[in-house]
Amino acid sequence: MSDAKCFTRLKASEIKTELETLVESKKANGTHRLTVRRQILKKIIANINLNNSDMVHLFPEVVDTVLTEPYASDLACKKMCYKYFEAFGAARPEGTLMCLPSMLRELTGTGDAYARSLILRCLAGIPLKQVAELLAEPIRGLISDEDPLVRKTACFAISKLYDCDAKLAARHNLIGLLNDRLYDENSHVVASALASLSEITEKNNTMKLVVNDSHARNLLTVLHRCNEWSQCYIISALTAYVPQLADDALFVVEKLVPLLRHANTAIVLNALKCIIYLSNYVEDITDAMPVLPKRLGNAMVSLIAKQPELQFLALRNVILVLLSKPHLLDLDVKMFFCKYDDTLYVKDTKLEIIYLLANAHNLKIVLKELEEYATEVDVTMARKAVRAIGNLAIKLPRGANACVQLILDLVAVDLPHITQEAVVVFKNVLRKYPREFDSAIQTFIKYTDLAVTALPSDANPFVNHHAPEADPDAVAAIVWILGQYCATIDGAVTILDRVTRDFLTDTIDVQLITLTAVTKVFLQLPSKDSEALLIARLKLATEEVDNPDLRERGFFYWRLLSSFPQDASYANAKQIVMNKLPVISTDSDKLDVAILEELELNIGTLASIYLKPVKQVFRLARTRILPQSACLVRKPRPVANDQHDALTRKISPINNPDLRANLELHGSYAGRAGSRDDFSRSDDDFVESFRETSMSSSSSLGLNKGIAAIGNVNRSLTRTGSMIGRKLTLKKN
């Protein structure tokens, strides 16, 4: 009979009758009774799994099974009964307590170790204080049982008891017993005790796992004698070891390096975490161990051959190490080139790594590869590749020319999604190198203005088909370029007119930028056309728009231009509007040292996947910092503490359901977040021009928010901008 037949929802009464007939039937012999009883128990367990809470009524029957022969000595029956107790034990304390004595008797007896460990596991798994109390005494004996299997199970039982009733555990000094197990002769028991202790300390803010020198050495010798998961926990526990001498740290690192070759990915990553952690306690670890970066790099690269899920996690952690300790990872950027059948999230992460690894030496091949991605079928991937190219131009001043050339080549392909993205990044490039690419602007505008705004019907049908809607970011970028560089663009006024003719339906960002741009055009190229354009847009903004910010901005420019009637060349206004822009850089993607330090200590954990400090993912979690020691190498902390606070405050709520958005947002290469923030800046050029007088620095956000800068910076900045504008106009009045 197949088990699937048990998998039907039954009522407790039905099973009861079935049991009764079994008891009453006379012809059934012992073995038959046993098989039928097993079958009935199977049905009960299946029903528990189907979330059938009706099964709780069968408690007396199950207790009966455990207490009567021959079922009580049948392992299969017992296993199932234990499962039942674990599920419903807490719901029926009186029933549980009834069968407890016999179970405890067997537990403390001298029977089979396997059977005893099963009982122990079951009893500890019942979240009932009475059970915990009764179990606390026998467990003291069991933890030093002669059978290692029982000792091992007892280790976990203690952490379960602790979870159930912490006071009880403290009263019976169970933690102390667990500590003693760390010196057990059996390596598996040691590992279990460690795992159990770290579970307990993780939850408790007053306790801390401390591994001292001799113990660390002991753990290292034990390491090779355990199974893979025990190894995993031991290595993890080694991060609690605080070396007092650089040599001690090096000794541990040396022992850990061979583990980087282990087939189990979790071990590799834990070893990496531990090595990175210990490297903080050695003045210059690459000096002491020149091969280390190569070994770490190799270890990470070989993880790329694993299943996509594992790959992804490994790559996320590569990013982390590259951000905090790039000198410890010697990687060949070629190994991170995407394969065409990689899953999307792996490709994404690889792209980030490529960006981080790019330097003047490998720029050529990197750009070639990025060009491939940019012309890829997948639109999101193509966009990201284009973005990465633009960011490389900003990151590597010497390679900027090559990057810009590539962007121009890509734009020439005339595909809307590429063009839109290209405009956005090109704008950033212009911000970084204000006068260098003047010659390229003309070509650029020629290709882009149509594609970006996706004019209906009269435009190229191809474009229409693929870009049903214009990308507001791209429109904003092109408007900014037109405004800023109108002097170098032929027919800038006409183009600007065309691009912004849907002024009223544009998004608020685009509208704000439009106002600034038309003002700039008017100031730089005073002519009938530009004046007409300016007046038309200002009129719309002040008369037909409901948004107070936008209206105020319109009034502001209006007043600015009309307040100095005697100044025919608008020298004052020019000085204000066309003020020198602050140069952007990617230096801001360097994260705060404290955040990096914390992330680094969490390699391989969930926090490393979200690339966010633990505190932000889980409010209650404890922040981990590098423990002090004589040999701790402290890095200078360039980032002031208050700024750290500012960054953390802006972080989106922890329970953001959209992880994808999170990952995208927190990408270390300028993701959407980065470029958006930048918009609000460029749109607020005029804010910047007042910066010196009104505000020393409204915000120090740059191009790349990097990991921690998140959230609605965009909105808040826009708001700040108009507030200042309003204040100023009030003063004037």
Partner 1 sequence: MASAVYILDAECRPIISRAYKFYPEEVYVPMLAQFATHVAHKACPPVVCVTGVNFVWVRHGDLYAVAICLDARANAMALVQFLQQWLDVLTSYLGKPVLFRDDVIDNYVLVYELFDEIMDFGVVQLTDYKILKEYIKLRADNFSIVENRKLHEDVEKAPKKKFSLSLKKEKPVEVSEIMDDAINASIVRTTINEINWRPKGIFYKKNEIFVDICERIHFVYDLTQSTIHTNIIRGAINVQCYLSGMPLCKLGLNEALTDTGKAFFHNLRLHQCVTAQLAKEEAAPSSNFSFIPPDGEFELLSYIHKSTASTKKPLFFVRPFFKHITTNGTHKLQVMLTLTTHFKQKVQGRRLLVVVPLHHYRIDYNRPLKFMTNELKGSNNSKIEIVLESESLCWELELYTGNSEYKMMAEVELAEMPDEATFFHSRFVQGDEPESDSDNEASTYISNAKRRDRNHIVQKIKAESQGKTAADPFAVTIHFDLQLLSQGYSGLRIEFLTIEELTQKNIKYTSFPWIRYLIEDDGAGERAPDAVNRNVHGEYRFKWGRDKVVWVEEKKELNSETNKDSDPEKINGILTELN
Looking only at residues 137 through 196 of this chain, which bind partner 1 when binding is defined by CB under 8 A? 148-149, 152-153, 156, 159-160, 163-164, 186-189, 192, 195-196
Q: Determine if 409 is a binding residue for partner 1 (CB under 8 A).
A: no
CB 309 → partner 1: shortest distance, Å?
4
Query: DSSP letter string over 564-603?
Result: -TT-TT-HHHHHHHTPPPPPP-SGGGSPPHHHHHHHHTTT
For residue 627, the 8-state DSSP code is P
590: number of CA atoms within 13 Å, CB side?
10
CB 59 → partner 1: shortest distance, Å?
18
Binder among 30, 206, 263, 649 for partner 1 (CB under 8 A): 263
CB 83 → partner 1: shortest distance, Å?
7
Restricting to residues 295-314, name those near partner 1 by CB under 8 A. Answer: 295, 298-299, 301-302, 305-314
Restricting to residues 692-721, name those near partner 1 by CB under 8 A. Answer: none
Whichever of 401 and 656 has its CB closer to partner 1, that residue is 656
Restricting to residues 99-128, name those near partner 1 by CB under 8 A. Answer: 112-114, 121, 127
Q: Interacting stretch for partner 1, rule CB under 8 A, among 255-263, 469-477, 539-547, 548-556?
A: 255-263
User: How many other C-beta atoms lie within 10 A of the C-beta of residue 204?
Assistant: 13
Q: Interacting stretch for partner 1, rule CB under 8 A, among 318-326, 519-527, 604-612, 640-648?
A: 604-612
Could you tell me which residues come within 8 angstroms of residue 571 by beta carbon, excluding any fewer than 6 positions away? Answer: none
Whichever of 466 and 726 has its CB closer to partner 1, that residue is 466
Whichever of 128 and 541 has its CB closer to partner 1, that residue is 128
Three state DSSP letters for 324-369: HCHHHCCCCHHHHCCCCCCCHHHHHHHHHHHHHHCCCCCHHHHHHH
C-beta separation of 193 from 155 below 8 A: yes
Q: Interacting stretch for partner 1, rule CB under 8 A, among 441-449, 505-513, 653-661, 714-722?
A: 653-661
Provide the residue count of the chain: 733
Whichever of 417 and 644 has its CB closer to partner 1, that residue is 417
Whichever of 487 and 654 has its CB closer to partner 1, that residue is 654
Whichever of 347 and 537 has its CB closer to partner 1, that residue is 347
Could you tell me which residues come within 8 angstroms of residue 600 by beta carbon, excluding any fewer than 6 positions away? Answer: 273, 276, 277, 320, 321, 324, 325
Query: DSSP letter string over 679-726?
Result: HHHHHTHHHHHHHHHH-S-S----S--TTT--STHHHHHHHHHHHHHH
Whichever of 374 and 717 has its CB closer to partner 1, that residue is 374
CB 566 → partner 1: shortest distance, Å?
57
Restricting to residues 23-82, name those near partner 1 by CB under 8 A. Answer: 42, 45-46, 49, 51, 74-76, 79-80
For residue 211, the 8-state DSSP code is B
C-beta separation of 278 from 243 below 8 A: yes
Binder among 7, 101, 502, 583 for partner 1 (CB under 8 A): 7
Whichever of 258 and 491 has its CB closer to partner 1, that residue is 258
Restricting to residues 317-376, name those near partner 1 by CB under 8 A. Answer: 317, 334, 337, 339-346, 348, 375-376
Q: Which helix (H) or strand (E) holds 138?
A: helix 129-142
Binder among 211, 415, 445, 596 for partner 1 (CB under 8 A): 415
Query: DSSP letter string over 477-528?
Result: HHHHHHHHTGGGSTTHHHHHHHHTTTGGGS-HHHHHHHHHHHHHHHHHS-SH
**Contact pattern from residue 223 through residue 242 relative to partner 1, giving x for each residue in contact according to CB under 8 A and a dash for the rest:** -xxxxxx--xx--x------
